[in-house]
A and B are shown apart, each in its own frame.
Chain A
């Protein structure tokens, strides 16, 4: 049985084939993976907020898109991934509740997605595929042997990106 690495909220894990990395129940959070198909090294960060510079509690870099992605990049490279081969995938960023007159905090999923993309671009990492938005939760997992990113939902079925 291959190793199953579980990633909590505002947390990250890196690993090698044949491990699988999983994160459960993402709402507005985003699960971003970085993967090098040749060395079969990859990692997943489960970010919950976009911007560390706008939060009062920013000791944990894995909590934010702008600091979590560079951290993950550094860690997968340390484990043997080669930067020019690394591709990103991401899923999540939904808006679970619709309110009339909703505050900014309700649209956090969208802002998470925007800043994640911007940060990846800044790091020079290509986004291979994504599954963002909607109004439902996702459980995501990446198989580090194949690089396939599987997304499970309760009402919208399963898909692989």
Chain B
């Protein structure tokens, strides 16, 4: 079953895109309420990419990003990643904690904790919508966070998938706040096998 995801039909891709749309819509609303700003989101893109190319989705393996990572437990396990440039992480911290950050400053433990909580809320909103839509129980793990090279952060997800295949199905949504302060990418990456469960749940063969 390793790389059967390479042969998805147009109808299946549409269904996955719609699932991503519902989840991301819920997340965007949650984020908007948190920082009291309008948040725009893209139509989710669904792609099946070779594992080695996953870091290119966020500007290459060398790009520095802030990443919040959660595992999804339940009927269709997978990984959720919220990646954003460092500036966006600073912006979020400023709006949440009301503190001014200098551009070359570091994220304190308090800042990181606040960002993880955002990841928690966004992933929770996303998975809630997904659960509702598919009637599958999906629960987020405790979030973890790192500010580092995109490639290194994505390793966590890639390793998981690498045992089963050489491709990843990536459901990606871009968030943009009205003042351009936040430019984040939200990734849902189902484990191998989970995709079929999700598709079955929404009745797409």
Residues on A facing B (Cβ under 8 Å): 8-11, 24-29, 48-49, 54-57, 59-60, 63, 94, 96-100, 103, 105-106, 108, 135-139, 154-155
Question: Would you call A136 and B152 a contact (CB within 8 A)?
Answer: yes
**Nearest-neighbor residue (CB-CB) of A46 within chain B:** B52
Q: Please pick, from A63, A96, A98, A155, the residue contacting B162 in the complex, using a CB distance under 8 A.
A: A63
A-B contact pairs, 22 of them (CB 8 A): A9-B151, A10-B166, A24-B60, A25-B60, A25-B62, A25-B149, A25-B155, A27-B153, A48-B162, A55-B163, A56-B2, A57-B162, A57-B165, A96-B152, A96-B156, A103-B71, A105-B160, A108-B159, A136-B148, A137-B155, A139-B61, A154-B64
> In the complex, what residues of B have CB within 8 A of residue A25's CB?
55, 60-62, 149-152, 154-155
B51 near A9: Cβ-Cβ < 8 Å: yes
Minimum Cβ distance to chain B for residue A93 (Å) = 10
Give the residues in chain A near B141, CB-CB below 8 Å: 99
A24 and B62 contacting across the interface, CB-CB below 8 Å: yes
B149-189 contact mask (Cβ, 8 Å, vs A): 1 or 0? 11111111011101111100000000000000000000000
Query: Which residue in chain A gives the minimum CB-CB distance to B53?
Result: A8
Instruction: Indicate whether B146 reaches chain A with its CB closer than 8 angstroms.
Output: yes
Whether B151 and A137, one on each chain, are in contact in the complex, defined by CB atoms closer than 8 angstroms, is yes
Shortest beta-carbon contacts, A-B, top 6? A25-B151, A137-B152, A25-B61, A27-B155, A27-B152, A97-B144
CB distance from A32 to the nearest CB of B (A): 16
Is A154 a contact partner of B155 (Cβ separation < 8 A)? no
Of chain B, the residue at the smallest CB distance from A60 is B166
* A9 contacts B52, C-beta separation under 8 Å: yes
Do the beta carbons of A49 and B156 come within 8 Å of each other? no
Asked if B69 lies at the interface with its beta carbon under 8 angstroms from chain A, I say yes
> Is the pair A24, B151 in contact by a Cβ cutoff of 8 Å?
yes
- Residue B142, interface by CB 8 Å: yes
**What 0/1 readout, one digit per residue, does chain B (48-70) give for beta carbons within 8 Å of chain A?**
00011001000011101000010
Verify B144–A99 contact, CB threshold 8 A. yes
Instruction: Tell yes or no: B147 within 8 A of A by CB.
Output: yes
Cβ contacts B120-159/A at 8 Å (1 or 0 each): 0000000000000000000001101111111111111011
Apart from A49-B163, A154-B148: 15 A-B pairs, beta carbons within 8 A: A24-B55, A24-B149, A25-B61, A25-B150, A26-B155, A27-B152, A57-B2, A59-B166, A60-B166, A63-B162, A97-B69, A99-B142, A99-B144, A100-B142, A154-B149
A60 to B55, CA, bound (A): 19
- Whole-angstrom distance between the Cβ of A3 and the nearest chain B Cβ: 19
Bound-state CA distance A25–B158 (Å) is: 13
With both chains docked as a complex, state the minimum distance between the C-beta of B145 and any C-beta of chain A, in angstroms: 8
Given the known A-B contacts A8-B52, A11-B52, A98-B144, are A57 and B151 also in contact in the complex, defined by CB atoms under 8 Å? no
Instruction: Give Cα A26 to B158, complex, Å.
Output: 11
Contact of A96 among B61, B155, B164 (CB under 8 A): B155
Query: A57 near B152 (CB under 8 angstroms)?
Result: no
